[in-house]
Structure 1
Amino acid sequence: MVNVSIARRYARALLDVATEAGRADAVSEQLSSFSSSIGQSRELADVLFNPAFTRDQRTGVVEALLKAIGPVEPVLANSLRLLVDRNRLGYLPDIARLYRDMVDAQAGRVRGHVTSAVPLSTDTLQSLAGNLKQLTQRNVVLESRVDPSVLGGIAAQVGSTLYDGTLRTQLEQLRRELKQR
């Protein structure tokens, strides 16, 4: 099991340096991109996380990835090199997640998920984000998911709060009420 306190320390240090440079959001996007690219390739993850590979091999792979991604924030590149150097690259997915959460908290944002039966238009998502902003008093960044099993309506989860207006939930509630009678 990964020790989250170690990942939190690296995320906090990266946030402090990136904030000082005024590049916290850019580092967040690039760190998420870097972490997801590793997560999508089993072979790449094996080279970077497997202790059977030498530090020099892992450093070479990280340097090649940094060049492939394009211009990377120097703060992020140095942090990734430090993770390789200290054999902490296995914490990268947790560092990326915690860093994103810290940047969002610092910016007064909260992330949410919207689930609907059909894809939602950009205008609908923006309108929904505005309504959720009024409810939560924070800027809401929404990710959209499509799940045909909701039948109709939408369910929005912001933080730990679920706003469920799906037809599936309403039918289930009606079924329970009819059973009680």
Structure 2
Amino acid sequence: MENSGGIQASLAGRYATALFGLARDEKQIDAVTRSLDTIEAAIAESADFKALTSSPLIGRADAGKAVRALVPTMGLDPITAKFLGVLADNGRLSELKNVVKLVRRLAADHRGETTAEVTSAHALSDDQVAALKTRLKARVGRDVAIDAKVDPELLGGIVVRLGSQMIDASIRTKLNTLAQAMKG
């Protein structure tokens, strides 16, 4: 199994590597990534599901029962559904967000893509994402998947993390730089 970027070094990395390996072996990478998108959306949209995946007060048995009750309503593929149950049984639902992120990175690497983490003050339009993908592809020489986040504290502009590189074109950083320059 590939140890891409030290992914296996963390607990979430070991789970992500196992899930990705199973998905790859069963030729279900696309189905698993779609299911992980559904899970990520559920965490973002449902306070109850977010609490289920992050609260240390919910025991393994209760978490397992809750997950198994939710899985049919979420429309997850069988591999991801079983994996979610394993996380719950092992008391590792708190690792779910990191697992999702790492599986996405492994899937992108498998497809020959690089993933760029893009943070902007406002949600990017489809045209903006497409233009950004084109520019980043020209820079790195391979397809780039965009993992977009919104952070209103940036005030404007974007911050792009691409591997070990960071491009910070945010208004917040420019204002901070200007403030430091004015202090002398």
Q: By the TM > 0.5 criterion, same fold?
A: yes
> SS in structure 2 opposite 1:22?
coil
> SS in structure 1 opposite 2:91?
coil
1:22 maps to: 27
> Deviations 1:135-154 (Å, cap 9, x if unpaired)?
0122122326475733xx65
> Deviations 1:84-135 (Å, cap 9, x if unpaired)?
333333322222222222222222221231536x665422331221111010
One-letter amino acid of the structure 2 residue matched with residue 7 of structure 1: A
> SS in structure 1 opposite 2:155?
helix
1:134 maps to: 138
- In 2, the alpha carbon distance for the partners of 1:61 and 1:98 equals 24
Matched, 1:99 2:107: no
Segments of structure 1 that go 5 or more residues without pairing to the other structure are none
- In 2, the alpha carbon distance for the partners of 1:160 and 1:166 equals 18
- In 2, the alpha carbon distance for the partners of 1:47 and 1:144 equals 23
1:149 maps to: 155
**How many percent of aligned residue pairs carry the same amino acid?**
27
Query: Following superposition of structure 1 onto structure 2, how do residues 1-181 of structure 1 map, counting pairs within 5 Å?
Result: 5-38=10-43, 40-47=45-52, 49-50=55-56, 53=59, 55=61, 57-70=62-75, 72-109=76-113, 110-113=115-118, 115=120, 120-142=124-146, 143=148, 145=150, 147=152, 149-150=155-156, 155-165=159-169
> SS in structure 2 opposite 1:113?
strand
Name the Cα RMSD after superposition: 3.3
> SS in structure 2 opposite 1:10?
helix
Q: Which moved more, 1:155-164 or 1:21-30?
A: 155-164
CA contact under 8 A between 1:47 and 1:53: conserved in structure 2? no
> SS in structure 2 opposite 1:87?
coil
Rate the CA distance shift 1:131–1:10 in 2: closer, same or farther, 3 A.
same
Shift of 1:16: 0.8
- Following TM superposition, where does structure 1 have runs of at least 4 consecutive aligned residues deviating by more than 6 angstroms? 170-180
Number of positions where the alignment pairs a residue of Structure 1 with one of Structure 2: 172
Rate the CA distance shift 1:162–1:66 in 2: closer, same or farther, 3 A.
same
- In 1, the alpha carbon distance for the partners of 2:12 and 2:131 equals 35
> SS in structure 2 opposite 1:65?
helix
Rate the CA distance shift 1:173–1:40 in 2: closer, same or farther, 3 A.
closer
Rate the CA distance shift 1:67–1:172 in 2: closer, same or farther, 3 A.
closer
TM-score w.r.t. structure 2 length? 0.70
Segments of structure 2 that go 5 or more residues without pairing to the other structure are 1-8
Larger Cα Rg: Structure 1 or Structure 2? 1
Shift of 1:156: 3.6
